[in-house]
Amino acid sequence: MRLRNSEEWELTTVLMLYDVIIDGKNYQLDLSRAEGRWSCHLDGRELGVDAILARPDVLSLRIGNLAYEVKLERVASEWHLWVGSTRFAAEVRDPRSLRGRARAGDDQGPKKILAPMPGKVVRLLVRNGDAVELGTGVAVVEAMKMQNEIKSPKKGTIQKILVGEGAAVNAGDVLAIVE
């Protein structure tokens, strides 16, 4: 991979290794830089890549002579990438960090119930200690004159409710914890 205006960068070699998950499929990506030149291996195959960050979250890519504009959509902690008009769910993990792995496959233990969008909690449908099924309504959040029932992601017991009726919430705020 080549990034323009690279003269000023140090001449050390930096290797970056990522596990990238695109729509559920795993890719291993090595990006390395040596003496201002970049090389890129996707699942072991070398690709000639030229990248320009046109503006934050917008990447102009050349792979060989094929040109792509890639846009990064971030809403709360979710990443989606648009390649042209095709959208992909994306997750990037640094294999040396255990944090990403710990999250995967974690269906046991307490689970947070998050607000999917900013809004106002108009009603709580459960109380602390209530038993809930997968899909039981937990709270009603209103935004833009529409009411949305937030459902339990698993069967269990409501361990804690963290918001009150009438509270304003942001996307990703924890409404309750189910155990």
Q: Is 18 in the site for other proteins (CB under 8 A)?
A: yes
CA dist., res. 147 & res. 121, Å (int): 9
Which one of residues 51, 121, 124, 163 is an interface residue with other proteins (CB under 8 A)? 51
Residues 6+ apart with CB under 8 A from 46: 39, 40
Only one of the segments 4-12, 102-110, 123-131, 152-160 lies at the binding site for other proteins (rule: CB under 8 A); that segment is 4-12
Question: Tokens for 94?
Answer: 């640094």
Residue 10 vs residues 6, 27, 36, 84: alpha-carbon distances, Å: 9, 28, 7, 34
Question: Tokens for 68?
Answer: 């792509």
Only one of the segments 7-15, 102-110, 128-136, 158-166 lies at the binding site for other proteins (rule: CB under 8 A); that segment is 7-15
CA dist., res. 9 & res. 163, Å (int): 49
Residues that bind other proteins (CB under 8 A): 1, 3-6, 8-10, 14, 16-18, 20, 22-23, 25, 27, 29, 31, 40, 42, 47, 49, 51-61, 63, 68, 70-75, 79, 81-88, 90-92, 94, 96-97, 116-120, 142-146, 148, 170-171
